[in-house]
């Protein structure tokens, strides 16, 4: 059964369309990497799934529940965690520890969204690999 189903997602910043008709599915236990050029809309898509950006169109279903309009804090309770990119990580923790901290208040069968950038990810990998 699909854990996360994004269907025809559109996200805008004013007149700028950042995400256009994106559909994807993630199964339980599956790891999915979203790859695209700078500015392609990866972070915006993950923010929309986490409830940090209100989509203009499309739908997001998590574990059979339509969460498209659900507030972010209620998505956390369902098991959706967004680990922010940039400097808002715990530098003393490993990558795995940073991710697992996000799940503290989530149920076990959750999903972790982690936006990153090429420059940022290599820096974090070095500091996080113990």
Tokens read off for 23: 């559909």
Min dist. Cβ of residue 35 to Mg ion (A): 11
Residue 113 binds: one of ligand ATP, Mg ion, none (C-beta under 5 to 8 A by kind): none
Tokens read off for 124: 């974090």
Min dist. Cβ of residue 37 to ligand ATP (A): 7
Residue 18 binds: one of ligand ATP, Mg ion, none (C-beta under 5 to 8 A by kind): ligand ATP
CB-based burial, 45-73: b 16+ in 10 Å, e otherwise:
bbbbbbbebebeebebbbbeeebbebeee
Tell me which residues touch ligand ATP (CB under 6 A): 13, 16, 18, 36, 38-44, 117
């Amino acid at each position: 059964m699909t854990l996360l189903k994004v269907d025809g997602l559109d996200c805008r910043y004013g007149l700028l369309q950042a995400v256009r008709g994106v559909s994807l599915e993630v199964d339980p236990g599956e790891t999915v990497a979203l790859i695209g050029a700078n500015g392609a809309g990866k972070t915006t898509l993950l923010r929309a799934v986490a409830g940090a950006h209100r989509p203009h169109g499309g739908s997001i279903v998590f574990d059979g529940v339509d969460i498209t309009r659900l507030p972010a804090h209620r998505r956390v309770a369902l098991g959706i965690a967004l680990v922010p990119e940039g400097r808002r990580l715990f530098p003393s923790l490993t990558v795995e520890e940073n991710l697992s901290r996000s799940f503290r208040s989530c149920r076990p069968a959750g999903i972790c969204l982690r936006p990153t950038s090429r420059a940022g990810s290599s820096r974090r990998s070095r500091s996080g690999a113990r």
